[in-house]
Structure 1
Amino acid sequence: YQQIKKHLDDCKKPLIFFDDDPDGTCSFLLFYRYKKEGKGIPLKTAPKLEVSFAKFVKEYGPDKVFVLDIPMIDQNFLDAVHEMHIPVVWVDHHTPLERRYVEYFNPRKENPSDSTCTTANAYYTIISDDPEHSEQKKELWIAAVGGVADWQLPEYMEEFAEKYPKLLSKSIVKSKKPEKALFGSPLGRIVKILSFTLKGKMGQVMRAIKIMTRLEQPEELLEGTTSRGRFLLKSVEKTEEQYNELLKRAAAQRSEDKFLIYTYTDKESSYTKEVSNELLYKFPNKIIVVGREKGGELKMSLRSKGIVIRPLVEAALQGVEGYGGGHEHACGACIKMKDVPLFLDQLRKGVEEAEKQKKVTK
């Protein structure tokens, strides 16, 4: 953490690319609020920082580039930034990749089973000078939001429950069930509000993020105790209605089938991540697939509680035009519409095989 902190301390004008989910956004907020300099760009297109984003580096002229919670960086992007003589620091927790011209911090490089979320690593970074008494501990609530959003209860959650008992009970932390925090506590409500503020057009999202860099207390978001909090709450009303409608329609697809599959078209914003998470909480024995059709492709979020699905998703990509990957129990995939039936068929076979293996080992 000291190494990452040194990179932060040694720059004056950082450009920070981050994933546009709550984990990526909270990581950005922690770094930006600590540094009070620089600029952030949320990645709204794909889980990959492509060479086209090098133009933002050229335009802004930073002295360092940070990449937070983004699973893939195109080597061409790193080559282009290297030619500008600007160092790149990448903090992530997805499957490690081999890349040149980047300082890469990923807990999985040392320990493949350590997928500590980027928010937690960002928080440990900014308090690393004095973990007990750091002034940066005022950011604990942001660290809590990002951690729980990524289905994790990092070590600091006990301290959070102590400091904010109205937002999260100690019993939930002790249960070691992050989904209870996410769907059964006021803290989970804050995660939802943050998620919804990140939907919509880039201009609106940037405005919302700018306001978030100035929030001082979680109650601002939860109860609208300040004008900036009220502005954010007002801005998510319509989004929340869309989400609830989508969740209702998706939940209605439940049947005897092991899979719960729901797809919709591009009229609304993308809620596949959030809907799939909540469906998994409601139906923990199902394999959840929520997809959004756009531009001839189906962008999917896949969730499973009992089965490790990442290798099954990767295997189901055989002979399919598309890409996918992610964590053990939570993956994303983007597949050409013509290949979706083949992908789902191969995924089903993989799940059946995994369940057979599970029974054998039992």
Structure 2
Amino acid sequence: MISLAQIRKELDSCKKPLFFFHDDADGLSSFLLLYRYVGEGKGVPIKYGPGIDETFLRRIEEFSPDKVFITDMAIVSQEFIQQVKVPIIWIDHHPVSEDLDYNGTKYYNPRVKNPDKNIPATKICYDIVKQDLWVGAVGTIGDWVFIPSFMKKVSNEFPQFLSKKIKTPEDALFNSKFGLLARIFSNVLKGRISEVNKCINVLTRIKDPEEILNQTSSQGNFIYKRYKHVNQPYAELLERAKKHASEDPFLIFSYKADESFTGELSNELLYLYPDKVTIVARKKSGEMRCSLRSPKNISVKDILEKSLVGIEGKGGGHPQACGCSVREECWETFIENMRRELE
């Protein structure tokens, strides 16, 4: 496994890097940290789906990078790796899979040495570049992770954005200005790819969180306006979802829309209803694309793995946060399986 110091050397020696990153707050923040350190290159947000496969080789052909950096992506196919003829530096924090072949990449993941060590990609990238602390805070909080020593450093430097009284990831995400920024980062990744790319380019030029939170620059004002536009349908979906809360240990909400808010909705619903296993599903192309969350005393990952046996679906993730897709005709069976496994 490559070291953080070696990754920094890879950054120092690149001239035209291409960055692939997961399209959430953690992935975006990890990209911003690396890009702002190098000051060169291009970023490509990736919907999680099947990960990075050979369909992304055209990006290599179009840009002709001298190095490829991948952050916050659990899956990269060997077909892709074998056909890329420049160094691939892969930074991740998802559980290491026995089914994946990491050969041909310079791979870094804290879970290689400690399978239970969940450090967001953003925090890893901050430890590499040692700059833009505020971006490091946004991505870490956005990934529902609270690292006490790191958050203490953040609150010392930015007390107006993160109170020292905050001690949990959910409190940081929903009761701090950095949490709001994490939700802003997540929302500006929604919409047409041209709009998303414009937001990403603008974010590379933001020097201070005040620019966005208080709209003190034209760039910050642009990002905040985009967030408000995207947040309107999200707020409407959240109100609909809250009506599904009952005595049931599950909170299950499904919807049909162009944009995916399943991750954001499941996070906020878990915050509002911390004792429930939350399943938010979006109907698309004959599938139910889901985000699942659970209280700390329940491993939704274990329940999910058992519930997918024998049905047409796939998924995985972390003990308290998972994603999956299930064929629409298997949906009722899947929910029955989830209920049985929770008992």
Which residue pairs with 1:304 in the alignment? 294
Q: 2:25 aligns with which of 19, 22, 34?
A: 22
Q: Which range is displaced more, 197-206 or 313-322? A: 313-322
User: Which string of whole-angstrom CA distances, capped at 9 and with x for unpartnered residues, describes residues 139-188 of structure 1?
Assistant: 0000000000011123322111111111111111xx3x111111111221
Give the aligned residue type for 1:270.
S
| Deviation per residue, 1:235-292 (Å, 9 max, x gap) | 2222111111100100110111110000001x34110000000000000000000000
Structure-1 residue corresponding to 2:170: 179
CA displacement at 1:329 relative to structure 2? 0.3
Separation of aligned partners in 2, 1:149 and 1:159: 17
Contact 2:48 2:73 in 1 (8 A): no
206-215 or 317-326, larger mean C-alpha shift: 317-326
- What is the aligned length? 335
Helix, strand or coil: the match of 2:165? helix
Q: What residue is the counterpart of 2:230 in the other structure?
A: 239
* Contact 2:22 2:48 (8 Å CA) reproduced: no
Quick check: 1:126 aligned with 2:126? no
Q: Please name the residue that 2:213 is paired with.
A: 222
Q: What CA distance in whole angstroms lies between the structure 1 residues aligned with 2:96 and 2:197?
A: 29
Alignment correspondent of 2:277: 287
The answer for the alignment partner of 1:132 in structure 2 is none
SS at match of 1:116: coil
Given that residues 221 and 233 in structure 1 are in contact (C-alpha distance below 8 angstroms), is that contact kept between their aligned partners in structure 2? yes
Taking the TM superposition and a 5 Å limit, the aligned residue runs for 1:10-159 are 10-44=13-47, 46=49, 48-81=51-84, 85-97=85-97, 98-99=100-101, 100-127=103-130, 136=131, 139-154=132-147, 155-159=149-153
- 8 Å CA contact retained: 1:310, 1:331: yes
CA contact (8 A) 1:19 1:47 kept: no
Give the share of equivalent positions with the same residue, in percent. Answer: 42
Q: Deviations over 1:216-253 (max 9, x none)?
A: 11111111111111111112222111111100100110
Amino acid at match of 1:165: P
Distance in 2, Cα, partners of 1:238 & 1:145: 20
Distance 2:13 2:165 in 1: 41
2:341 to 350, 355, 358: 350
Structure 2: how far apart are the matches of 1:327 and 1:55? 31
- Point out the more displaced range, 211-220 or 157-166: 157-166
Q: Is the 8 A contact 1:47 1:71 kept in 2?
A: no
Correspondences of 1:159-170 after superposition (within 5 Å)? 159-170=153-164
Q: Distance in 2 between matches of 1:335 and 1:300?
A: 8
Q: 2-side partners of 1:235 and 1:181: how far apart? A: 23
User: Is the CA contact (8 Å cut-off) linking 2:301 and 2:321 kept in structure 1?
Assistant: yes
The letter for the 1-side match of 2:150 is: Y
Letter in 2 for 1:7: E
Contact residue 23 and residue 48 of structure 2 kept, 8 A: no
d(CA) in 2 for partners of 1:52, 1:88: 16
2:67–2:88 CA contact under 8 A, matched in 1: yes
The answer to whether the Cα contact below 8 Å between 1:47 and 1:70 also exists between their aligned partners in 2 is no
Q: Structure 2: which 5+ runs fail to align?
A: none
**In 2, Cα distance between the equivalents of 1:311 and 1:73?**
23
Letter in 1 for 2:47: K
List gaps (5 residues or longer) in structure 1: 128-135, 353-362
Deviation at 1:215, TM superposition (A): 0.3
How far is 1:45 from its partner?
Answer: 5.6
**Residue type of the alignment partner of 2:161:** L
Deviations 1:60-83 (A, max 9, x none): 1111111100111122111221xx
For the residue of structure 2 that corresponds to 1:342, the secondary structure is helix
Scaled by the length of structure 1, the TM-score of the pair is 0.90
Q: CA RMSD in A?
A: 1.2
Greater CA deviation, 67-76 or 201-210?
67-76
Aligned equivalents of 2:239 and 2:303: distance in 1?
A: 28
In the TM superposition, what is the alpha-carbon distance from 1:47 to its structure 2 partner?
5.3
Contact 1:292/1:299 (8 A) holds in 2: yes
Q: Distance in 1 between matches of 2:90 and 2:314?
A: 22
Give secondary structure in 2 for the equivalent of 1:246. helix
Paired residue for 2:325, among 314, 334, 338?
334
In 2, the alpha carbon distance for the partners of 1:124 and 1:222 equals 25
The 5 Å alignment of 1:251-270 reads 251-265=242-256, 267-270=257-260
Give the residue type in structure 2 aligned to 1:159.
Answer: K
Does structure 1 residue 274 correspond to structure 2 residue 267?
A: no
Moved more, 159-168 or 270-279: 159-168
Q: Which amino acid aligns with 1:89?
A: I
What TM-score comes out, normalization by structure 2 length? 0.95
State how far apart, in whole Å, the 2-side matches of 1:290 and 1:149 are.
Answer: 18
Counterpart AA for 2:143: D
Equivalent position amino acid for 2:58 in 1: K
| Contact 1:314–1:324 (8 Å) recurs in 2 | yes
Q: Which of these residues, 183, 203, 218, is aligned with residue 212 of structure 1?
A: 203
